[in-house]
Chains A and B, each alone.
Chain A
Amino acid sequence: MSLQIISIILGSLTLASALMVVLSKHPVRSVIYLVITFFLITSMYIMMNAQFLAVVNMIVYAGAIMVLFLFVLMLLNLNKEVEPMATRGSQLAAFIAGGSLFLVLITALKDTLILGQSYRENHSQIGLVKELGNLLFSKYIVAFELTSILFIAAMVGAILLAKREKQIIE
């Protein structure tokens, strides 16, 4: 019972901080709200006894990606005057794109609600590192390896772009 209350409080806090990401006027503040959102999601993972996922979420999203976001924003020094104004067309496009993503997410979430319930009852250890490792390296091995190839391709691409620019300067 008390667990349920905590989940409800955490969930509403997550939604509130996620909303503040969009609503807050200052880009750096938005990023900080996003970091808070990731922390709240981490706490949700812990509530579900998925310690490994929780910590990985913390390291990768809150610790690495958001630091880079903040890094770039601090260097850009964005303010009202230099902020590019969105045209009516791009606003409409953003609305349609965001709306369709939202629809897809809702249809996806409708099934996980039922699936998650039965999963949690049968496998309370599913989020721990041993179970996750076994699953990743047996059932999902192809997807796992393909993802790593994708990452390496992206990394090589980024390095190539950075190198080419340097040659032009020289």
Chain B
Amino acid sequence: MDTALLIEKSILVLLLFLVSLGAAAYMTYFERKLAAWIQDRVGPDRAGPFGILQPIADGVKMFLKEDFIPAKADKWLFIIGPGIAMFTALITSAVVPWGPKLHLFGRDIVLQVADINIGILYVFGVISIGVYGIMIGGWASNNKYSLYGAIRASSQMISYELAMGVSAITIVLLSGSLSLTTIVEGQSEVWNIFYQPVAFLIFFICALAELNRAPFDLPECESELVGGYHTEYSSMKLGLYLFAEYTSMFVSSAIMAILFFGGYNFPGMSHFSGNTLAVLGILAFASKIFIFIFVIMWIRWTIPRFRFDQLMHLGWKSLLPLSLINLLVTGLVIAYKNGWF
């Protein structure tokens, strides 16, 4: 590997790390402001103009709080739990193509850390290990509410992963590739949402469940479980859990934009070229991500929480059969188009 590529990728990784953390921090601010507007309040407005420094104040507060480990907790696992949650939230962004090629310093810079040919499976692999952070943390706390939260989280995530995976397979069938770059490039004319509205709906609902966002936020349902899996956590360990949630919200919005809304593609793309195209592509992608984040937050402040049995019924008896039928129909149509019948 040549040195220039190594430097280029390292800078990209560092940038992605900072952007994900910065986005997560300002998403907390945005969420509080949005909640305030929906409930006809003002929201945070003390720190800086319009309360713009609120996330920084929150971060400093998290660091300065007392870091407490319960006496009967499994000490090492208690510490590792939030770390795993944050780690899995951050590493998904490695396969996301953030924009068309940039041309800088006489080099073509690919705005993707790793173009592995199984990108979408990598995303699912990371999602499937994401549950360990919550499970280990909840169990190690040695608290019944934490354990309940952890068990709810894991059963919910296992159930919704299936329908999510099946609806993603339809996209793989359409593009004929598991690589996220190829999937995005295949959508330069028509976005996948126009072919696969049902798959998108299933994927979106499942993503909400995987993120533990309302109306599926049963793992941390405060009226039943105190704080859910992070009841015993304090200081920056709690901060990492909350932060991981927002980071994964950012990344999964990016994944949804890639799979169904054309990634960095935008209408009228053929009129631009070179670096202008790259910058516009990044902006288009960023605005799609922003819209998804907004919709996810909007849902949280609008729809009440499900009951746990309703959640399981929805996952296993509605979404999974629906996604299987959708997959079958897609497969038949593709086979017909290729002249199999």
Contact = CB atoms under 8 A, between A and B. Distances in A.
Interface in B141-163: 147, 150-151, 154-155, 158
16 contacts: A28-B77, A28-B139, A55-B122, A59-B121, A63-B131, A64-B128, A64-B158, A67-B128, A67-B132, A67-B158, A68-B158, A74-B135, A74-B139, A74-B150, A75-B151, A129-B178
Interface in A38-59: 51-52, 55-56, 58-59
Interface string B98-130: 000000000000000000111001101101110
Interface in A122-136: 128-129
A28 B124 CA distance: 24
Contacts of B150: 74
B154 A71 contact: yes
B249 interface: no
Interface residues of A, number: 20
A68 B131 CA distance: 11
Interface of A: 28, 32, 35, 51-52, 55-56, 58-59, 62-64, 67-68, 70-71, 74-75, 128-129
B136 interface: yes
B117 A129 contact: yes
Interface in B226-260: none
Chain B contact residues: helix, strand, loop or mixed: helix
A64 B74 CA distance: 24
A101 to B, nearest CB: 28
A111 B209 CA distance: 47
A51 B116 contact: yes
Contacts of A129: 117-118, 178
Contacts of A59: 121, 124-125, 128
Given A67-B135, A70-B135, A56 B128 contact: no
Contact of B125 (A28, A55, A68, A71): A55
Interface in B41-93: 74, 77
Contact of B121 (A55, A71, A75): A55
A28 B122 CA distance: 26
Contact of A62 (B121, B129, B154): B129
A70 B155 CA distance: 11
A35 to B, nearest CB: 7
A51 B155 contact: no
Nearest to A68: B158
Contacts of B124: 55, 59
B121 A56 contact: yes
Interface in B178-212: 178
Nearest 6 A-B pairs (CB), nearest first?
A: A63-B128, A58-B125, A55-B121, A59-B125, A55-B125, A74-B139
A78 to B, nearest CB: 12
A70 B118 CA distance: 28
Contacts of A75: 151
